[in-house]
Amino acid sequence: MNEAIAAYLEDSAEPEAALADRISGSFGHAVEIPAYGERESLAGTLASVPAGPSGDVLIVVVLNARRDSPAEVHDVNAAVREAIAERGPAEVLSEIPDARLFPDARGRLLLIDRASPGSYLPAGQGVGLARKIGCDLLLRLHAAGRLSSPWILATDADVSLPPDYFDQAEELDPASTVAAVYAFEHVFPEDEALAAAGRLYEISLRSNTLGLAWAGSPYAYEGLGSCLAISASAYAAVGGFPKTNALEDVTILNSLARVGAIERLAGLPIGLDGRISTRVPISTGKALSDLVRRPAAEASFLLPHPLAFAHLAAWIRVLDALARRGADALVAELPRGNPFFRADLLEEALTGMGAFAEVREAIRQPGDARTVLHRLHRWFDAFRTKELL
């Protein structure tokens, strides 16, 4: 077993990971789905899971809520329990938390119930912990040699998966790629205002990613928890999903990009439900809600100016020069005398971030150019990139 995986399972995995030992048989692929107050959308997601190209599929649904979740969420979760129970006789793997294994046409479905008294998620935690529970179990199954795919797949309970969902991940090489983000497209309702807001939001996601890619940033990807494939070894190496109630996807992708390459898949897209939602404080649903309520949203909607990415590209070139030539390249690489480039403003922004002190410390430490560049980008990560823009 990979040393990072062994250490993670020993020290950091959630207790539910041990349920993997009680599941008989082996699987070609598996997918993790957190569900919080979602019934019809979850049913659609489950129906879209394709058959596995290399054997049975394990679908892990982590039903979750906190004690203080709205009554509506608890009611819907209760309906989800009943609907899944109708699939047929279940094998009980655990009673606290309740974990039941159901038959499924594509393999089996495991329902882990963290939405009942005695098993609620802790206050302040949410979808991140739900994802971690499901993915930790898949990692343990993989480590035992009973999940042949090297990819931990994470999605949401309001998506439609494409028929080549599992095939797309298998085209990746886990030796050179730590994670991948599936192509996606939002499916909008007939509500014209909501559809317009959704298109604006999707444009912002794509525009930002294209700008980052053009600038040469290693953080050029969309941070969507519904569209993730993570190599098992990399998942363990970065400590799994954070247990937060928001931005767990952005956070783990940031950690992954600091240790290896993240690919953007070009296969059939995952269909995302373009809907208003307040399930978590930062999400697509929350962004749509804010846009719909904002007066003249289309007229006031802003994207980063293209020149912002030009300035980012210049800074990334400086980091590359720093790694190769040392501190002498710190400012020399910035364009001068260009009416479209404000080196003074870029230097001011970087100074405010403490960038120059950080890069001097990074290049002071030993290592070849590749090691130093990696160290520089570990500091100038996705969050600092966003801060600069």
Sheet holding 107-114, edge to edge: 91-95, 98-104, 107-114, 57-64, 29-35, 151-154, 228-231, 177-181, 261-264
Domain that holds residue 373: 306-388
CA dist 252 and 136 (Å) reads 14
Sheet holding 184-187, edge to edge: 159-160, 270-273, 184-187
Q: How many whole angstroms from its chain centre is CA 319?
A: 26
294 and 320: one domain?
Answer: no
Q: What is the pLDDT of residues 209-235, one digit of tens each?
A: 999 999 999 999 999 999 999 999 999
At residue 105, the pLDDT reads: 94
Query: In total, how many domains does the chain have?
Result: 2
Buried b vs exposed e over 341-359: b needs ≥16 C-beta within 10 Å?
bebeebbebbeeeebeebb
At residue 341, the pLDDT reads: 87
- Whether this prediction's pTM lies above 0.85 is answered by yes
Domain boundary among 246, 280, 300: 300
In this structure, how many other beta carbons lie within 10 angstroms of the beta carbon of residue 33?
27
Is the Cβ–Cβ distance between 241 and 198 less than 8 Å? no
At residue 363, the pLDDT reads: 87
At residue 197, the pLDDT reads: 75
Across 351-376, average pLDDT: 90
Domain boundary among 274, 300, 326: 300
- The enclosing domain of 8 has a CATH number of 3.90.550.10
Q: Which two three-digit tokens encode residue 5?
A: 């995986």
Largest CA distance in the chain: 74
**pLDDT surpassing 70 at residue 291:** no
344 and 222: one domain?
Answer: no
Domain boundary among 300, 327, 359: 300
Phi, psi at 165, each rounded to 5°: -55, -50
Residue 57 identity: V
Confidence of residue 384 (pLDDT cuts 50, 70, 90): very high
44 and 86: one domain?
Answer: yes
183 and 34: one domain?
Answer: yes
Cross-strand partners of 184 = 270
135 and 238: one domain?
Answer: yes
Confidence of residue 73 (pLDDT cuts 50, 70, 90): very high
Across 274-294, average pLDDT: 60
Rounded percentage of the chain residues whose pLDDT exceeds 90 = 72
Phi, psi at 273, each rounded to 5°: -75, 110
197 and 274: one domain?
Answer: yes
255 and 375: one domain?
Answer: no
At residue 325, the pLDDT reads: 78
334 and 244: one domain?
Answer: no
**pLDDT surpassing 60 at residue 164:** yes
Q: What is the pLDDT of residues 11-63, one digit of tens each?
A: 999 999 999 999 999 999 999 999 999 999 999 999 999 999 999 999 999 99
**Considering the chain, what is the average pLDDT of its residues?**
90
254 and 362: one domain?
Answer: no
291 and 360: one domain?
Answer: no
315 and 226: one domain?
Answer: no
Confidence of residue 323 (pLDDT cuts 50, 70, 90): confident
254 and 319: one domain?
Answer: no
Rounded percentage of the chain residues whose pLDDT exceeds 70 = 91
